[in-house]
Amino acid sequence: MNKVVPDETADSHSTHDAEDDVRNRDIKIFVNGDLVPRDEAKVSVYDSGFMLGDGMWEGMRLYHGKWAFFDEHMDRLFAGLKAVEIDIGMDRAGVLDALNRTAAANGMTSDAHCRLMVTRGVKAKPFQHPALSRSGPTVVIIIEHSKPAESLQKRGIRLATVPQVRGLPMTQDAKYNSHSKLNCVIACLQAEQAGADEGLMLDPLGFVNTTNACNFFIVRKGEVWTSTGDYCMNGVTRQKIIDLCRANGIPVFEKNYSLLEAYSADEAFLTGTFGAQTPVAEIDGKPIGDHTGAGPMTRRLQGLYKNLIEMHIA
174 close to 232: Cβ distance less than 8 angstroms: yes
Site pattern 29..68 for ligand PLP (x: CB under 6 A) = ------------------------------x---------
* Residue 213 in the binding site for ligand PLP (CB under 6 A): yes
Which residue number, 18 or 184, has a Cβ lying nearer to ligand PLP? 184
Query: Which residues ranging from 214 to 253 are in contact with ligand PLP (CB under 6 A)?
Result: 214-215, 233, 235-238
Closest of 188, 205, 206, 187 to residue 197, by C-alpha? 188
Task: For the CB of residue 93, give the shortest distance to ligand PLP in the complex, in Å.
Answer: 21
Q: In the β-sheet with 112-119, what is the strand arrangement from edge to edge?
A: 34-37, 28-31, 138-145, 112-119, 55-63, 66-67
* Residue 184 in the binding site for ligand PLP (CB under 6 A): yes
From 3-11, 13-21, 270-278, 280-288, span contacting ligand PLP (CB under 6 A): 270-278
* Distance separating alpha carbons of residues 114 and 143, to the nearest angstrom: 4
Which residue number, 122 or 225, has a Cβ lying nearer to ligand PLP? 225
Task: For the CB of residue 237, give the shortest distance to ligand PLP in the complex, in Å.
Answer: 3
* Distance separating alpha carbons of residues 151 and 50, to the nearest angstrom: 34
Task: For the CB of residue 207, give the shortest distance to ligand PLP in the complex, in Å.
Answer: 16
87 close to 135: Cβ distance less than 8 angstroms: no
* Distance separating alpha carbons of residues 54 and 119, to the nearest angstrom: 6
> Which distant-in-sequence residues (6+ apart) come within 8 Å of 104 by Cβ?
none
Which residue number, 77 or 139, has a Cβ lying nearer to ligand PLP? 77
Closest of 251, 247, 197, 191 to residue 226, by C-alpha? 251
Task: For the CB of residue 73, give the shortest distance to ligand PLP in the complex, in Å.
Answer: 7
57 close to 118: Cβ distance less than 8 angstroms: yes
Closest of 191, 247, 249 to residue 216, by C-alpha? 191
**Choice from 273, 277, 278, 302 touching ligand PLP (CB under 6 A):** 273
Which residue number, 121 or 229, has a Cβ lying nearer to ligand PLP? 229
Q: How many residues does the chain have?
A: 314
Which residue number, 106 or 215, has a Cβ lying nearer to ligand PLP? 215
Task: For the CB of residue 211, give the shortest distance to ligand PLP in the complex, in Å.
Answer: 7
> Applying CB under 6 A, which residues contact ligand PLP?
59, 177, 184, 210, 213-215, 233, 235-238, 271-273
